[in-house]
Amino acid sequence: MEILEKNRIILIPAYEPDSRLISYVKELNGHGLHDIVIVNDGSGESHKNIFGTLKEMGCVVLTHKYNQGKGMALKTGYHYIHDTYPDYACIITADADGQHAAEDVFRMANEAVKNPDSLILGERNFKQSGIPAKSLMGNRLTSTIFALFFGRYLPDTQTGLRAFGPMLTELMWGILGERFEYETRVLIYCIRSKVPIVPVEIQTIYENENRGTHFHPIKDSFKIISVITSDFMKFISTSILCAAIDIGLAWLLFDLLRRFLPGADFLRIMTATAAARVVSIGVNYFLNKNLVFCNEHTGTNSLFRYLALCALNMVLSALSVYLLHTYLRMDEKAAKIICDVILFLFNYQLQSRWVFAIRGLNHEP
């Protein structure tokens, strides 16, 4: 077996681990993986002996005084590795509950070295027998919803076995999230910033119905779903707000302009409508950039892309309503509602992937 160099760093966040973690470290050592950083995420005095043994085995043990969550434990490890190992080739994150076979960690390290600009995902095979029903349901649900909103089906969005090179380390610790939802935010950020995601099939290990894990398949899966859908819910909110601004301002201007444009109703209505639309578009652009997609790295042309999308929407809306009304004899008002709902979903996807996509980042450490 090829022995990996020592600058492949294994990072294990651990909260109240049992003796399996000690056995797991021995297995990793047997595969030539000796640089192991373990973050004790506030496990308390009752687990002091386990972490003491891990230190004696050569592991670096970092300690949080209180439990801060898996996301924060990973970020603590990323900062330490970045500052301590200047020549590391990659970081491989693994769970402390024995779900990830040492040979799979070894394979992930090799893949990360081959693909230094990519996120390597260890994907479990949920088609095999013996998978706990709650885990299967939670993974399938989150994977399906993730694909619906981000256009990429990842069979295992909740996998903790991941690897990446130093080019991505600063990106990883800059992503929001403190607990299990952090790993979902990483996937979202990588897709939006066009970081390649490389899947590697790994063994599916559930010991004792996976009772040792601190991940709650139902409760935590719904938390993850809320992360996946949060941008869309904010998108709906800003759209409703801007529609109210558009209508309210138009109504206000209809009355205010009467004194300046007496008898010129068409010009008055067009002026009021155009002014209201300009204001609502400006507010919507600002809110979507800074609140919905929260991206400072959209490039210099995001406003022009946004305006182009607005123009495209107007053309598609008018054309679709005309075609439905003319050839299917559909009521114009009903056709307008159907077309605009479809365009609303289309609009969200294009704004996420094109208008406000993450651009121009340099991930060099």
pLDDT digits (tens, 9 = 90+) for 311-328: 998 888 889 888 988 899
> Does residue 265 register a pLDDT over 60?
yes
What homologous superfamily is domain 8-215 in, according to CATH?
Answer: Spore Coat Polysaccharide Biosynthesis Protein SpsA; Chain A (3.90.550.10)
Residue 342: pLDDT band with limits 50, 70, 90: very high
When pLDDT is averaged across residues 155-175 and rounded to a whole number, the result is 90
Average pLDDT over residues 256-266: 83
For residue 205, pLDDT over 90 is answered with no
The predicted structure's pLDDT at residue 2: 45
Share the mean pLDDT of the chain: 85
The region of weakest confidence among 7-11, 61-65, 79-83, 266-270 is 266-270
What confidence tier does 1 reach under pLDDT thresholds 50, 70, 90? very low
Average pLDDT over residues 104-122: 93
Is the pLDDT score of 3 beyond 80? no
pLDDT computed for residue 353 by the predictor? 85
Q: Who has greater pLDDT, 240 or 131?
A: 240
Query: Mean pLDDT over residues 72-85, rounded?
Result: 94
Mean pLDDT of 4-30: 88
Residue 121 has pLDDT above 80, yes or no: yes
pLDDT of amino acid 365: 42
What's the rounded mean pLDDT across residues 163-176? 91
pLDDT at residue 180 in the model: 78
Bridge partners of 14, per DSSP, are 40
CATH 3.90.550.10 location in the chain: 8-215
Band of the pLDDT at 214, cuts 50, 70, 90?
Answer: low
Residue 199 pLDDT greater than 50, yes or no: yes
Give the whole-angstrom CA distance, residue 246 versus residue 273: 8
Average pLDDT over residues 229-252: 92
